[in-house]
Structure 1
Amino acid sequence: NSGLVRYLRENFNGVRVQCGDFMEWQPVQYYSRVIMNPPFSHGQDIRHILRAFSLLRPGGVLVAVCLNGPRQQEKLLPFSDVREELPRGTFAYTDVPTMIIRLRA
Protein backbone atom coordinates (compact mmCIF):
# COMPACT_ATOMS: atom_id res chain seq x y z
CA ASN A 1 0.00 0.00 0.00
CA SER A 2 1.98 2.95 -1.28
CA GLY A 3 -0.25 5.49 0.49
CA LEU A 4 0.38 3.87 3.87
CA VAL A 5 4.11 3.66 3.17
CA ARG A 6 4.20 7.37 2.31
CA TYR A 7 2.26 8.22 5.49
CA LEU A 8 4.59 6.15 7.68
CA ARG A 9 7.72 7.64 6.13
CA GLU A 10 6.39 11.19 6.57
CA ASN A 11 5.23 10.71 10.16
CA PHE A 12 7.78 8.38 11.75
CA ASN A 13 11.22 9.90 11.36
CA GLY A 14 14.06 7.51 11.94
CA VAL A 15 11.97 4.42 11.14
CA ARG A 16 12.87 2.55 7.98
CA VAL A 17 9.72 1.52 6.11
CA GLN A 18 9.96 -1.15 3.42
CA CYS A 19 7.30 -1.91 0.81
CA GLY A 20 7.24 -5.26 -0.97
CA ASP A 21 6.29 -8.92 -0.72
CA PHE A 22 7.20 -9.82 2.84
CA MET A 23 7.37 -13.54 2.11
CA GLU A 24 9.89 -13.04 -0.74
CA TRP A 25 11.91 -10.19 0.72
CA GLN A 26 15.59 -10.75 1.52
CA PRO A 27 16.82 -8.30 4.16
CA VAL A 28 20.23 -6.69 4.17
CA GLN A 29 20.32 -7.00 7.94
CA TYR A 30 18.40 -8.87 10.60
CA TYR A 31 16.12 -7.18 13.10
CA SER A 32 16.12 -6.88 16.87
CA ARG A 33 12.33 -6.32 17.09
CA VAL A 34 9.30 -7.23 15.00
CA ILE A 35 5.72 -6.30 15.89
CA MET A 36 3.08 -7.69 13.57
CA ASN A 37 -0.58 -8.32 12.87
CA PRO A 38 -0.41 -10.83 10.00
CA PRO A 39 -3.32 -11.99 7.85
CA PHE A 40 -5.22 -14.81 9.59
CA SER A 41 -6.93 -16.80 6.82
CA HIS A 42 -5.75 -20.24 5.70
CA GLY A 43 -2.86 -20.42 8.18
CA GLN A 44 -1.23 -17.28 6.83
CA ASP A 45 -0.61 -16.07 10.38
CA ILE A 46 1.58 -19.10 11.06
CA ARG A 47 3.56 -18.71 7.83
CA HIS A 48 4.04 -14.95 8.31
CA ILE A 49 5.09 -15.29 11.95
CA LEU A 50 7.61 -18.05 11.20
CA ARG A 51 8.97 -16.00 8.30
CA ALA A 52 9.32 -12.91 10.51
CA PHE A 53 10.99 -15.03 13.19
CA SER A 54 13.61 -16.07 10.62
CA LEU A 55 14.45 -12.37 10.13
CA LEU A 56 15.38 -11.79 13.79
CA ARG A 57 18.97 -11.44 14.90
CA PRO A 58 20.06 -13.56 17.89
CA GLY A 59 18.34 -12.23 21.00
CA GLY A 60 15.66 -10.53 18.90
CA VAL A 61 12.01 -10.41 19.94
CA LEU A 62 8.86 -10.85 17.87
CA VAL A 63 5.38 -9.93 19.15
CA ALA A 64 2.39 -10.93 17.04
CA VAL A 65 -1.37 -11.17 17.09
CA CYS A 66 -2.64 -14.47 15.70
CA LEU A 67 -5.53 -16.87 15.81
CA ASN A 68 -5.79 -18.95 18.95
CA GLY A 69 -6.53 -22.26 17.28
CA PRO A 70 -5.10 -25.77 17.39
CA ARG A 71 -2.70 -25.20 14.45
CA GLN A 72 -1.34 -22.00 16.00
CA GLN A 73 -0.96 -23.70 19.37
CA GLU A 74 0.89 -26.62 17.76
CA LYS A 75 3.17 -24.59 15.47
CA LEU A 76 3.80 -21.36 17.42
CA LEU A 77 3.44 -21.98 21.15
CA PRO A 78 6.53 -24.21 21.40
CA PHE A 79 8.59 -21.13 20.42
CA SER A 80 6.61 -18.65 22.51
CA ASP A 81 7.61 -17.51 25.98
CA VAL A 82 4.53 -15.30 26.48
CA ARG A 83 0.95 -15.93 25.42
CA GLU A 84 -2.02 -13.71 26.18
CA GLU A 85 -5.50 -14.71 25.06
CA LEU A 86 -7.64 -11.85 23.78
CA PRO A 87 -11.41 -11.63 24.37
CA ARG A 88 -13.63 -12.87 21.55
CA GLY A 89 -14.70 -9.96 19.40
CA THR A 90 -11.49 -8.01 20.00
CA PHE A 91 -11.43 -7.40 16.26
CA ALA A 92 -14.54 -5.65 14.93
CA TYR A 93 -17.05 -7.82 13.09
CA THR A 94 -15.30 -11.05 13.99
CA ASP A 95 -15.83 -13.65 16.65
CA VAL A 96 -12.59 -15.56 16.27
CA PRO A 97 -10.36 -16.51 19.20
CA THR A 98 -7.10 -14.58 19.08
CA MET A 99 -3.97 -14.21 21.17
CA ILE A 100 -0.80 -12.20 21.41
CA ILE A 101 2.42 -14.18 21.49
CA ARG A 102 6.04 -13.27 22.05
CA LEU A 103 8.92 -15.25 20.56
CA ARG A 104 12.61 -14.76 21.32
CA ALA A 105 15.32 -15.69 18.84
Structure 2
Amino acid sequence: IHVSIVNKLPANSEPLSVHCRSGDDDLGYHTLAVNQDFHFSFCVIPLLTIFYCDLKWETKMVSGDVFNAAFPNPCVDGTCVYETSENGVYINGKLWNSWY
Protein backbone atom coordinates (compact mmCIF):
# COMPACT_ATOMS: atom_id res chain seq x y z
CA ILE A 1 0.00 0.00 0.00
CA HIS A 2 1.19 3.52 -0.78
CA VAL A 3 -0.15 6.48 1.27
CA SER A 4 0.33 10.10 0.22
CA ILE A 5 -0.73 13.19 2.16
CA VAL A 6 -0.81 16.32 0.00
CA ASN A 7 -1.02 19.89 1.28
CA LYS A 8 -3.67 21.51 -0.93
CA LEU A 9 -4.36 24.39 1.47
CA PRO A 10 -4.64 27.92 0.03
CA ALA A 11 -1.50 29.72 -1.15
CA ASN A 12 0.34 31.57 1.62
CA SER A 13 -1.16 29.25 4.27
CA GLU A 14 0.77 28.18 7.32
CA PRO A 15 2.59 24.87 6.71
CA LEU A 16 0.82 21.59 7.40
CA SER A 17 2.32 19.40 10.15
CA VAL A 18 2.02 15.63 9.69
CA HIS A 19 2.85 12.81 12.12
CA CYS A 20 2.10 9.22 11.06
CA ARG A 21 2.75 5.96 12.86
CA SER A 22 1.75 2.34 13.29
CA GLY A 23 2.13 0.08 16.30
CA ASP A 24 5.68 -0.72 15.16
CA ASP A 25 6.84 2.29 13.13
CA ASP A 26 6.89 5.99 13.95
CA LEU A 27 7.40 7.83 10.66
CA GLY A 28 8.34 11.08 12.39
CA TYR A 29 7.10 14.64 12.10
CA HIS A 30 6.97 16.37 8.72
CA THR A 31 6.24 19.97 7.76
CA LEU A 32 4.66 20.48 4.34
CA ALA A 33 4.44 23.74 2.42
CA VAL A 34 1.50 24.22 0.04
CA ASN A 35 1.56 21.57 -2.73
CA GLN A 36 4.18 19.44 -0.98
CA ASP A 37 3.43 15.85 0.01
CA PHE A 38 4.57 13.23 2.47
CA HIS A 39 4.30 9.62 1.34
CA PHE A 40 5.12 6.17 2.61
CA SER A 41 4.60 2.55 1.63
CA PHE A 42 4.13 -0.66 3.58
CA CYS A 43 3.11 -4.29 3.27
CA VAL A 44 -0.23 -5.30 4.74
CA ILE A 45 -0.66 -7.96 7.39
CA PRO A 46 -4.35 -8.91 6.99
CA LEU A 47 -6.55 -7.62 9.82
CA LEU A 48 -3.55 -6.20 11.71
CA THR A 49 -1.94 -3.33 9.78
CA ILE A 50 -2.99 0.12 10.99
CA PHE A 51 -1.42 3.48 10.21
CA TYR A 52 -2.65 6.52 12.11
CA CYS A 53 -1.87 10.17 11.33
CA ASP A 54 -2.25 13.54 13.05
CA LEU A 55 -2.47 16.56 10.75
CA LYS A 56 -2.20 20.08 12.16
CA TRP A 57 -2.78 23.37 10.37
CA GLU A 58 -2.75 26.68 12.22
CA THR A 59 -4.92 25.96 15.31
CA LYS A 60 -6.83 23.12 13.63
CA MET A 61 -6.24 19.38 13.78
CA VAL A 62 -7.40 16.12 12.17
CA SER A 63 -6.54 12.64 13.46
CA GLY A 64 -7.44 9.18 12.28
CA ASP A 65 -6.53 5.89 10.64
CA VAL A 66 -5.26 6.49 7.11
CA PHE A 67 -5.18 2.71 6.70
CA ASN A 68 -6.76 -0.05 8.77
CA ALA A 69 -6.58 -3.60 7.39
CA ALA A 70 -9.57 -4.65 9.51
CA PHE A 71 -11.92 -2.41 7.49
CA PRO A 72 -12.60 -1.86 3.78
CA ASN A 73 -10.13 0.74 2.58
CA PRO A 74 -10.82 3.65 0.24
CA CYS A 75 -7.52 3.23 -1.62
CA VAL A 76 -7.50 2.86 -5.40
CA ASP A 77 -5.14 0.24 -6.85
CA GLY A 78 -3.17 0.16 -3.59
CA THR A 79 -2.75 3.95 -3.42
CA CYS A 80 -4.37 6.19 -0.79
CA VAL A 81 -4.11 9.91 -1.59
CA TYR A 82 -5.27 12.29 1.14
CA GLU A 83 -5.59 15.98 0.22
CA THR A 84 -6.05 18.79 2.72
CA SER A 85 -8.36 21.74 2.12
CA GLU A 86 -9.69 24.61 4.22
CA ASN A 87 -12.63 22.52 5.45
CA GLY A 88 -10.93 19.17 6.03
CA VAL A 89 -9.09 16.23 4.52
CA TYR A 90 -10.35 14.33 1.47
CA ILE A 91 -9.59 10.95 -0.06
CA ASN A 92 -10.70 10.26 -3.61
CA GLY A 93 -12.79 13.45 -3.56
CA LYS A 94 -14.76 12.42 -0.46
CA LEU A 95 -14.48 14.09 2.92
CA TRP A 96 -12.46 11.83 5.23
CA ASN A 97 -12.30 14.09 8.28
CA SER A 98 -13.10 17.71 9.18
CA TRP A 99 -10.73 20.01 11.06
CA TYR A 100 -11.51 20.50 14.73
Q: TM over 0.5, yes or no? A: no
**Greater strand fraction, Structure 1 or Structure 2:** 2
Question: Does 1 or 2 have the higher relative contact order (CA < 8 Å, sep 6+)?
Answer: 2
TM bucket (normalised to shorter chain) is under 0.3
Question: Greater helix percent: which structure?
Answer: 1
- Larger C-alpha radius of gyration, 1 or 2? 1
